[in-house]
Amino acid sequence: MAFEKFSESGKTFKPKVSFRKGGGIGLNAGAVRKFGLKQYSFAILYYDKERRLIGIKPTKSEDEEGARRMTHGGTWATIGAQGFMDFFEIDPPRDKRRDATWDDRERMIVGFACRLEPGDQPKGMKDGEANKEKGMHA
């Protein structure tokens, strides 16, 4: 196996989701790149109350039920979600980044929407399940 040169300094590769003070859901450059989000202008939001997970399903159509605008800025993306947070009474840790993963079965991005203590595992999830990362299949 040959060595490969790393020349991408200053870039983020690990996909993360964050919750903003104004109620927005942010996706970092790693998430935008890994899940191919530049090609999408909208997203549909989901919540799994039992496992305390949010789901973000990218879409190109604003006509899909529940579609919310996904705003892109440079390398990141954000989705206005204050109504979503209020409706499901989600009080995520603001300005904290969480790992974002791709759920093949649901065909959406998944991230924790709760305060997790070290070693805490949401109900119904096996150890390590939340950290599986798969690229998006458009």
**Residue 38 within a domain:** yes
> Residue 19: which of 86, 73, 81, 67 has the closest Cα?
81
Least confident piece of the model among 10-14, 16-20, 98-102, 132-136: 132-136
**Residue 5 within a domain:** no
**Residue 64 within a domain:** yes
pLDDT digits (tens, 9 = 90+) for 27-43: 999 999 999 999 999 99
pLDDT given for residue 6 in this prediction: 84
Residue 137 pLDDT level (bands cut at 50, 70, 90): very low
Which residues are CB-neighbours of 98 under 8 A, at least 6 positions away?
16, 17, 18, 111, 112
pLDDT given for residue 130 in this prediction: 43
**Residue 136 within a domain:** no
* Count of domains for the chain: 1
The domain in which residue 74 lies consists of: 16-114
**Residue 130 within a domain:** no
Residue 5 pLDDT level (bands cut at 50, 70, 90): confident
pLDDT digits (tens, 9 = 90+) for 43-102: 999 999 888 899 999 999 999 999 999 999 989 999 999 999 999 988 877 667 889 999
- Residue of 127 and 37 predicted with greater confidence: 37
